[in-house]
Structure 1
Amino acid sequence: MVFRYPNGRSYINNEPTEKKTQATNKKKKPIEFGKRGMRFEEAINLSNEYYLSRGLAVIHKKPTPIQIVKVDYPRRSAAVIKEAYFSQASTTDYNGVYKGNYLDFEAKETKNKASFPFKNIHEHQIKHMNACLKQGGICFILLSFSAVNRYFFLAADALIPLWEEQKLNGKKSVSLTKIEELGIEIKAGIAPRVPYLEAVDQYINWKKGVN
């Protein structure tokens, strides 16, 4: 199946097919999440399921808007999408409600050990976060430094000034030291895998001036 961006450029899916994955799993060590072999996004999805099942929060991954342009029907009861376009730029990965607060956030993973590249955050996402902040929403990114198994909550009101400064100072990344200073570190768990709502609580209390 061929996916294309709005400008017509083909989308290249670098992820292996199911058969290829089964064949290469024995050869390649998976990216670890808390030494449990889980990808960061998968761990967040499981955490959201945990929160939902216990009535703690309703948070879901946003669907990617796609326009289908070519479909084959190999059987009357089946349809196969052969070509599609990403109809618009995505905003952020997740949104939902927690304790009456609207949450909107992005999940990012880097193999870098000491910095997070700004190229992983796009201008339309920054604009989206700014718009949500103006409506009183809680926006943030969850960062995974997979090489050192460290995970952080970084609020949008801390991220946005750093992202904007790159236009002036030319910096291409934000250091781990800066993230340690401005963010909240999240310790990987079992249930939930990524207990990020604990960081959200800390952020809410900080905004309210509660120690």
Structure 2
Amino acid sequence: MTRARRLRRVLGAHGCTLLALVVFAAMTGVPARAPLALPGAGGLPLAWLFNLLAWIGPGLVVAGVALRLRAGLGAGPGRIAGIALNLLLLAALAFAAQGLLPLDVQELDAGASRWHALAWMVWNLAFAAGALLAGLALPSVRVPSLGLCAVVTLGLLSPGVFGGGIGERVVLACWWLWTLALAWRLPRQR
């Protein structure tokens, strides 16, 4: 798979997430600082469509690109690079799982919402660890990977740094940038 093709797939996936977030927030009247996943909460109109467009579909597309990147890595970059791309795959699957495990609008801090929070946390941790290892093992993405890892880690360790509702938006933007950097900067599949 060529770099341009990988980049188009990842851009399309992220564009789908962004469009779903904007359109469904406007349709449902969700406040600007509300959790990003709120339009997909159980019981809300068209929640299944939001979850499909915002989380499930894009997560699976990025997972497919991660598999291709891992397969095309070869033996040169080493084991750490392979682990980094496996963490990219895990993060992409956890991203998709957020749509399969929607929030419960009646209990945002309990019940089914805890499963969504778990998927969100796995996505964050796999993303941060993958970015760190990619930064250490893959010179072509060293600067963006380590920089984005630092931002995500800061947000995880000090949630108040970005303020209420901003932190998850910063992490999502970092996710988009990192996956785009990997899709574009890693060599073509052998």
TM over 0.5: no
TM-score by length of 1: 0.29
- Larger RCO of the pair (alpha carbons < 8 Å, separation 6+): 2
TM-score by length of 2: 0.31
